Amino acid sequence: MDSLTLTRPDDWHLHLRDGPHLGSVVGHSAAQMGRAIIMPNLKPPITTTRQAAAYRQRILDALPQGSEFQPLMTLYLTDTTPAEEIEQAVASGIVHAVKLYPAGATTNSDSGVTDLRHCEAALKAMARLGLPLLVHGEVTDSDIDIFDREAVFIERVMKPLLERHPGLKVVFEHITTAQAAEFVAQAPDNIAATITAHHLLFNRNHMLVGGIKPHYYCLPILKRERHRQALLAAATSGSGKFFLGTDSAPHAQGDKESSCGCAGVYSAPAAIEFYAAAFEEAAALERLEGFASHFGPDFYQLPRNTDRITLRRQEWTMPEAYPYAGDQRIIPLQAGQSLAWKLAGKGAQ
Ligand SMILES: NC(=O)N[C@@H](CC(=O)O)C(=O)O
Ligand SMILES: [Zn+2]
Ligand SMILES: [Zn+2]
């Protein structure tokens, strides 16, 4: 197969940042995706519908002219999010989900939830109104090894949560383990998961063998090959529970290449090309459209996109860097490396 046409995909997990950083990155996603679920972990976080509406307008203002990209906003759940805020969010029509960051789990999660039992009122309102909870699924207990934090989260947090709120819609975000893939596959239909391109393409050796490679460092951290294989199997299974979420998370080069480097992989400039490479490795390119373009809107009860994109088998080189907020640089996933698929109509990068 040398060309692949599919319904325009959406990105169900995206970090766009704000201000000049937003302006540097939003065009990359808008060139590929119809819509994206926009993560709320700004400084300060987006905790109210009013803030979400203002952030949405800043995103729309930063879009390239003529772009029809639609940002789907989220709220950042805190220990004190009231049920009324959930009601306002649903009534607004612009907020499509609420994000759970366990406090301390990842970038800008300091205001996150210390104990999910504090959030009962908000969770009840979400279950009643059908507003999905998006979960960064890692425990933060210091005694739990970083490679085990997702698997332990399933037992300590996810299962008790779903016992208390069996009807709540939950997306287990950026899953990275066989345990999470298995848990979601066996759960009822109100539970789904996003999978990133980098967790489908790479294991922890890519990050740690032959020198430490900070641009592969993200959270949840890359796992061993067995887990990558389980994720590939889930993504290409044809199950509507697994869909595309890049978790593209830009950080300036200097913040990544540091003695205490930030977590996050910047994959937005070639997101769909990365996924095509992963699906091709699994000999499942015909399943890419369901994963990238159908299952996400179906879960969120939104219409599928009606326009299409075409990917061509055409080698090209990912640029070494992109400009970021004026004088900074951002290093994309697979910088300087050759990619096999290219989105038709893509100009010079
Ligand atoms: N994925 C990451 O490694 N980083 C994300 C936060 C997140 O999604 O956990 C970020 O905002 O930088
Ligand atoms: Zn996360
Ligand atoms: Zn994320």
The gap from C-alpha 26 to its chain's centroid, in whole angstroms, comes to 14
Residues of the chain with pLDDT under 70: 347-349
Q: CB under 6 Å to ligand 1: residues? A: 15, 41, 106-107, 136, 218-219, 247, 249, 263-264
**ipTM score here?**
0.98
Distance from C-alpha of 149 to C-alpha of 76, rounded to nearest angstrom: 21
Residue among 22, 107, 195 to mutate when testing ligand 1 (max atoms within 8 A of CB): 107
Q: How far is the CA of 105 from the centre of ligand 1 (A)?
A: 9
Unique residue bearing structure tokens 């490396």? 337
Does 79 qualify as catalytic in the annotation? no
Ligand 1 nearest-atom number relative to CA 265: 3
pLDDT one-digit tens code per residue, 223-282? 999 999 999 999 999 999 999 999 999 999 999 999 999 999 999 999 999 999 999 999
Q: Residues 11, 189, 247, 255: which is the catalytic one?
A: 247
Ligand 1 nearest-atom number relative to CA 250: 12
pLDDT at 348: 53
pLDDT one-digit tens code per residue, 89-117? 999 999 999 999 999 998 899 999 999 99
Q: How far is the CA of 129 from the centre of ligand 2 (A)?
A: 24
> 91 — alpha (psi -120 to 50), left (phi > 0) or beta?
alpha
Q: How far is the CA of 256 from the centre of ligand 2 (A)?
A: 17
Q: How far apart are the first and last CA of the chain?
A: 25
pLDDT at 346: 85
pTM: 0.98
* Alpha-helix residue ranges (DSSP H) falling in the chain: 19-30, 49-62, 83-92, 120-129, 149-153, 159-164, 178-186, 197-201, 204-208, 225-235, 253-256, 271-281, 288-289, 295-300
Unique residue bearing structure tokens 């095509």? 276
Ligand 1 nearest-atom number relative to CA 218: 3
Distance from C-alpha of 277 to C-alpha of 294, rounded to nearest angstrom: 19
41 close to 108: Cβ distance less than 8 angstroms: yes
Distance from C-alpha of 272 to C-alpha of 32, rounded to nearest angstrom: 7
Distance from C-alpha of 278 to C-alpha of 206, rounded to nearest angstrom: 15
